[in-house]
Structure 1
Amino acid sequence: MNTPVIIGNATLYLGDCREILPTLPKVDAVITDPPYGLGIDGQKESMRRDGSQLRKHHEKLGWDGAIPDGELMQAVLAAGTQQIVWGGNYFSDDLPSSRGWLVWFKGQTGLTMSDGELAWTSLSIPLRVKNLHRTHLWQESPEHPTQKPTELMIWCLSFVPDAQTILDPFMGSGTTGVAAMNLQRSFIGIEREPKYFDIACRRIDDAQRQGRLIA
């Protein structure tokens, strides 16, 4: 296992979460967005009508070829006292029943992409909906083909207000970590793809520096 990168109160691991999770202490909350197994890890560049870039090109790396198996999902759940797992409908065979679902409604219907996304949680709360237009993500110039908006992940963190250490075993480009930095929480992230690990390090470092400026 590689030595983690420490950025302020964030600890970031480049590697396979199967190997790294057993070495970590239990955290307050796991908030994560695992691969859905839809094969959309690659993405062609697309442009706006004014000629500016809407989506970046992403080469196909194979990480979205299958969903995490049951053994890995159980390890992910066991890593935290509380859990929020995006794409929970794709992992229904491996997740307990829950009343506390979160919904991201993307503000548009009928497109080739989904109208919204579902997050399974271990929380005993009523179902909650976040209305956040998909263009909020485009305004962030996403650097990962399945990147979530930072505002959405900050919303997730609002449901675990007492959780001081957040873990994301499928860190991607680091949005969960950026949200944690915005709320001055501690963060542990794991990402196996070096390209996205480097992006996550940069984004989390930027968020740390912005937080210090605000403070």
Structure 2
Amino acid sequence: MKPYYERAGIALYHGDCHEVFPVLEPGKFSVMLTDPPYCSGAATSSAKTADPVAKYCQNGDAKGRPTFSGDAKDQRSFVAWSVFWMSACRRLLKDGGYGLVFTDWRQLPSVTDAFQAADFTWRGLIAWDKGLSSRSPHKGYARHQCEYLVWGTNGKCRPRADAGPFPGCHHESVRQADKFHIVGKPTELMVKLVEFCPVGESLIDCFAGSGTTLVAAAKSGRYGVGIEREEANCEIAARRLDRFFESPERQEN
């Protein structure tokens, strides 16, 4: 299998995780940093199987961004699926490599269960504070202001001389000009999170979306591999990476 995009130590594969994992080298990566489909945002079966645009975009307006598949699992199948891909990805990590997986408050218990079932050593949570623009259904309700990263290691957490301790909470607002996926994360947030990966080493993002993790890796002197099954998002990611590699910012470095 050839990458959909490859340049300067960054590679993006178009396909499902189970199709791509076998072509990657076991023990190659220092960090798994990924944002899988949450399969969240709905209380009923019919709502859960709705298009993600309806579930996650205010007033159902995606602002021209493509939707994605794989977000309609119930909780039991979500856990089983998560154990599958986390286990397979953990085998691609170095001993002591980090795993960081985004989730929301609804699926947090499921993700922590799956993370441990996949034989990661769970070491805590990192909060992402999205700010006071976050949605609240009505007055008298607490805002859904934070999402979370379940984090841990593939075995022991070894002391680092080059970086850390890392923040346990990040404050980054969502800016529409920097949002290329309907549930995309801010680029500056991902730049901070890729610091878990030593400079010059490689990370993997199993659900690359619009390529923000890969852009952050490139900006920060890391290498990276992403996997994304929606071709529309692969094309967005490729354009973003080309813009970075051809930008004055890159040329000056």
Please state if 1:69 is matched with 2:82: yes
Of residues 119, 128, 139, the one that matches 2:168 is: 128
Q: Who wins on radius of gyration, i.e. which is larger?
A: 2
**How far 1:115 moved relative to its partner?**
0.9
Structure 2 residue matching 1:202: 3-state secondary structure: helix
Give yes or no for contact 1:74–1:94 (8 Å, CA) kept in 2: no
Write the distance in 2 (CA, Å) between the matches of 1:60 and 1:6: 24
Residues 167-210 of structure 1, C-alpha deviations (whole Å, 9 max, x = no match): 11100000000100111211111110010010011111212223
Of residues 32, 42, 52, the one that matches 2:53 is: 42
Please state if 1:104 is matched with 2:104: no
Write the distance in 1 (CA, Å) between the matches of 2:65 and 2:240: 18
Name the count of aligned residue pairs.
206
Give the match for residue 203 of structure 1: 240
Give yes or no for contact 1:30–1:84 (8 Å, CA) kept in 2: yes
Q: Which ranges of structure 1 fall in alignment gaps of 5 or more residues?
A: 48-53
Q: 1:163 to 1:146 in 2, by over 3 A?
A: farther
Length-normalised TM-score, structure 2: 0.71
**How far 1:22 moved relative to its partner?**
1.9
Residues 136-155 of structure 1, C-alpha deviations (whole Å, 9 max, x = no match): x3231x22111000011111
Identity percentage of aligned residues: 28
Write the distance in 1 (CA, Å) between the matches of 2:3 and 2:166: 40
Please state if 1:94 is matched with 2:114: yes
Q: Which ranges of structure 2 fall in alignment gaps of 5 or more residues?
A: 41-47, 138-142, 158-164
**How far 1:8 moved relative to its partner?**
2.1
Write the distance in 2 (CA, Å) between the matches of 1:207 and 1:143: 15
Give yes or no for contact 2:5–2:13 (8 Å, CA) kept in 1: yes
Write the distance in 2 (CA, Å) between the matches of 1:69 and 1:120: 13
Write the distance in 2 (CA, Å) between the matches of 1:213 and 1:127: 30
Length-normalised TM-score, structure 1: 0.82
Please state if 1:84 is matched with 2:84: no
- Select the structure that is richer in helix: 2
Is 58-67 or 184-193 further displaced after alignment?
Answer: 58-67
